[in-house]
Structure 1
């Protein structure tokens, strides 16, 4: 990935943070964005300092706001001169039974998990060179459903459809588009789920373990790089075999 120009949305926490760090270690030049947490942004820059790649450019931006998305991609032009890789990662989860779900909650999840992907792709793809790669972060639950998360499942299923359509649309430009679909992530830096829940899901996985952010980042780098140059329109599950 040496010299590759990369944009990762939502790059200061979880999968996004692990992906940014992996790209930097591989020698890429990275622009990333975050929404509110300045401390997480500062921590990312510090963590990437002294690595083989340049320190990432970190921009505060709301990827659901077209004006912020335009400003973010303008930063990619000024800092990188274009793009080779886009990782659409910024997203949100949700857990609400359909009977209790307010329209605002439905729209919150769909806006960040689907509409933001469209906005960023629309603005970033014109900057991409031939041979480029778009990697959308979905969820393996989109393929099997999850109770209490109809909005999240619908959004992540839409990401797969978006991926497949863009793969065909952008293929003539030699730009590949794929989805990485993580399962439940076990992140020591963000222990937001009770241990019994983690244990129950871990027992359901074929590998009897859950993926971490770095595992997902490895799949992202594979789909972003030349080793996957004939892979497009695909969904790669990273869920331990659920």
Structure 2
């Protein structure tokens, strides 16, 4: 059974990592069309689009700077016009710089908040105007929404706000037949992570009940579920995908 048969999806920040995994898994699960968004990683996004097409779905690469509200609206409009509609939006685009809170400037704060949070607001608002009842919106949040890490104040605050946006949107868009949820990943593996942060990877795998890092596919599978008919009575929910690391004590 392919859970997303015939759907038309837009995945933001789909040039690599989690976004790549989501776009490919959506295609594998039957999406008829997947719009692959990127800001600057055009070559990587084209590779993702080629992978989407390899499993039988249509794909297009759309560029947009989601720090700009009008760019968000243009992106959603172009994705819907290309696909012949829109049934699923995954707000995945985001940044995760590290910077100590003392000395952080308002401009540095706004760069993260506008990229991670304001883009979610604008893309969701634009998408719901287009979607018919039964559509779904999924935001990629983070376990840092409730478990902040040092030097991530702007990132953690933006992710906490994303969780609350989804709950608020679930209340207001539910009467229109649109569901809005979040997926909160833990530490997701990527090329070179074990070499660049060996102590963090070791600490994570030691604390996680499932004793491994996450994979992009783990997050993608959660997104597939939330966009599928299996989740037709689920909205305003934060689905944590962290191998159980937040189930234990932090001390």
Matched, 1:129 2:158: no
- Stretches of structure 2 lacking an aligned partner (at least 5 in a row): 246-251
Q: 2:65 aligns with which of 55, 62, 77?
A: 62
Partner of 2:248 in structure 1?
none
SS in 2 for 1:216: helix
For 1:32, the equivalent position in structure 2 comes to 36
CA contact (8 A) 1:135 1:224 kept: yes
How do 1:1-242 residues align onto structure 2 when only pairs under 5 Å count? Answer: 1-28=4-31, 29-54=33-58, 56-188=59-191, 193-242=196-245
SS at match of 2:30: coil
CA-to-partner distance for each residue in 1:149-189, whole Å, 9 max, x for gaps?
Answer: 11111100000110000000011111111000001111238
TM-score by length of structure 1 reads 0.94
Q: Matched residues in 1 for 2:119 and 2:219: separation?
A: 20
Aligned residues, how many? Answer: 241
Structure 1: where are the runs of 5+ without partners? none
TM-score of the superposition, structure 2-length normalised?
A: 0.91
Alpha-carbon distance change, 127 to 142 in structure 1, aligned in 2, over 3 angstroms: same
8 Å CA contact 2:36–2:45 kept in 1: the answer is no
Preserved contact between residue 64 and residue 119 of structure 1 (Cα < 8 Å): no
**Alignment check: 8 A CA contact 1:26 1:52 kept:** no
2:92–2:140 contact (8 Å) kept in structure 1: yes
Please report how far the alpha carbon of residue 199 of structure 1 lies from its aligned counterpart in structure 2 after TM superposition: 1.3
Q: How far, CA to CA, are the matches of 2:147 and 2:192 in structure 1?
A: 27
Alpha-carbon shift at residue 80 of structure 1 (Å): 1.7
